[in-house]
């Protein structure tokens, strides 16, 4: 049976003129002629509807390795530090919350400061979040009517790269933020050292990811939302284990279970006190890569300035 596909316009400028950028298995990336955004086109219809993630749900998001890694205190360390810098208290909506690990850290570390709620398309992941005491919204984010509810923060941790219509999500986030509220976005960096070295073999060039931002296209993407202004941007995170494996590896998809296992291993290394000298080296490398915008991810913090 042929897989149903959806044709896309550029997720940043909405124009349709694009040239082939690369192919990897069933994934085809194109580059927008107008704004240089790189995105998957066409994409599987199931990705557009979110069904894909419900299918992926249990084997990946709920595998013991993935859960252990996500729920390790160190997993959201950078995100939490950044979040606390801009949002000191209030109501938080985590879009694409998966199993709820970010909100769980927020709740357990700063119980008096935040009221968090998460939303996701993967129902099995939301079940887990609820078991951990996290409030969840089971509606889809875009059609959801939030009434008069407004948030102090809306977070998209590694979410925008999965969305067929990311601009609609950003606009919706802007519409439900309080004046002065913040929107946090973290996406993979297409110009990272890892992508430059491993190229098409890099594991996160995969069908689940349909948008491939650079610092330039991420800035263009967020500039489209006039009510939000950039208060911080840069690159962060560096996983040398992923880079080393993918540099040696092939183009085939890294199995979900293997990806989860490596994330768990990385987390274990980070928590091992015997590896302190290695960690100092690693932290130095990460800082250098970050200043050169070569780290694994890009982030941007936006503030709502007008109603």
Number of neighbours of residue 50 by Cβ within 10 angstroms: 17
Give yes or no for residue 5 binding Zn ion (CB under 5 A).
Answer: no
Give yes or no for residue 12 binding Zn ion (CB under 5 A).
Answer: yes
Scanning 96-232, the segments in alpha helix (DSSP H) are 101-109, 123-131, 166-175, 193-198, 215-223
Q: How far is the CB of 114 from Zn ion (least distance, A)?
A: 36
Q: Which stretch binds Zn ion (CB under 5 A): 24-32, 133-141, 173-181, 234-242?
A: 24-32
Give yes or no for residue 30 binding Zn ion (CB under 5 A).
Answer: no
Contact 290, 296 (CB under 8 A): no
Give yes or no for residue 218 binding Zn ion (CB under 5 A).
Answer: no
Instruction: Show the binding pattern over residues 160-189: x = contacts Zn ion (CB under 5 A), - = does not.
Output: ------------------------------
Any idea what DSSP says for residue 7?
Answer: -
Give yes or no for residue 72 binding Zn ion (CB under 5 A).
Answer: no
Give yes or no for residue 16 binding Zn ion (CB under 5 A).
Answer: no
Report how far Cα 261 is from the mean position of its chain's Cα atoms.
19
Between the alpha carbon of residue 101 and those of residues 26, 66, 277, the distances in Å are 31, 11, 28
Instruction: Show the binding pattern over residues 31-50: x = contacts Zn ion (CB under 5 A), - = does not.
Output: -x-xx-x-------------
Among 8, 13, 141, 159, binds Zn ion (CB under 5 A): 13
Considering the complex, state which of residue 12 and residue 40 has its C-beta at the smaller distance from Zn ion.
12
Give dist(CA 114, CA 11) in Å, integer.
32
The dihedral sign for the CA sequence 135, 141, 146, 149: positive
Give yes or no for residue 154 binding Zn ion (CB under 5 A).
Answer: no
Q: Is 302 helix (H, G, I), strand (E, B) or coil?
A: strand
Q: Which stretch binds Zn ion (CB under 5 A): 29-37, 195-203, 289-297, 298-306?
A: 29-37
Give the contacts of 41 (CB within 8 A, at least 6 positions apart). 7, 8, 18, 28, 29, 30
Give dist(CA 74, CA 81) in Å, integer.
11
Give yes or no for residue 18 binding Zn ion (CB under 5 A).
Answer: no
Q: Which stretch binds Zn ion (CB under 5 A): 25-33, 106-114, 173-181, 192-200?
A: 25-33
Considering the complex, state which of residue 32 and residue 173 has its C-beta at the smaller distance from Zn ion.
32
- Which positions lie near Zn ion, rule CB under 5 A? 10, 12-13, 32, 34-35, 37
């Amino acid at each position: 049976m042929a897989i149903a596909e959806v044709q896309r316009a550029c997720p940043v400028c909405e124009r349709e003129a694009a040239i082939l950028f690369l192919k990897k298995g069933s994934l085809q990336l194109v580059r927008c002629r107008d704004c240089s955004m790189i995105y998957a086109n066409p994409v599987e219809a199931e990705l557009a509807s979110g069904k894909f993630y419900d299918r992926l749900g249990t084997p990946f998001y709920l595998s013991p390795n993935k859960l252990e890694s996500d729920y390790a205190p160190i997993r959201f360390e950078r995100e939490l530090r950044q979040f606390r810098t801009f949002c000191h208290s209030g109501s938080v909506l985590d879009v694409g919350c998966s199993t709820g690990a970010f909100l769980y850290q927020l709740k357990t570390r700063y119980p008096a400061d935040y009221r968090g709620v998460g939303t996701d398309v993967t129902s099995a992941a939301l079940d887990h979040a609820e078991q951990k005491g996290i409030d969840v919204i089971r509606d889809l984010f875009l059609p959801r009517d939030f009434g008069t509810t407004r948030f102090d923060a809306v977070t998209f941790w590694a979410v925008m790269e999965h969305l067929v219509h990311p601009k609609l999500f950003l606009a919706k986030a802007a519409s439900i933020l309080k004046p002065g509220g913040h929107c946090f976005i973290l996406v993979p960096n297409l110009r990272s050292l890892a992508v430059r070295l491993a190229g098409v073999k890099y594991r996160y060039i995969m069908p689940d990811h349909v948008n491939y931002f650079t610092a330039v296209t991420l800035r263009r993407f967020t500039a489209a939302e006039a009510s939000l202004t950039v208060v911080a941007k840069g690159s962060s995170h560096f996983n040398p284990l992923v880079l080393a494996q993918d540099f040696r590896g092939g183009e085939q998809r890294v199995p979900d279970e293997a990806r989860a296992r490596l994330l768990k291993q990385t987390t274990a290394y980070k928590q091992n006190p015997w590896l302190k000298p290695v960690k100092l080296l690693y932290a130095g490398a990460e800082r250098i890569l970050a200043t050169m915008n070569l780290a694994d991810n890009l982030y941007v913090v936006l503030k709502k300035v007008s109603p």
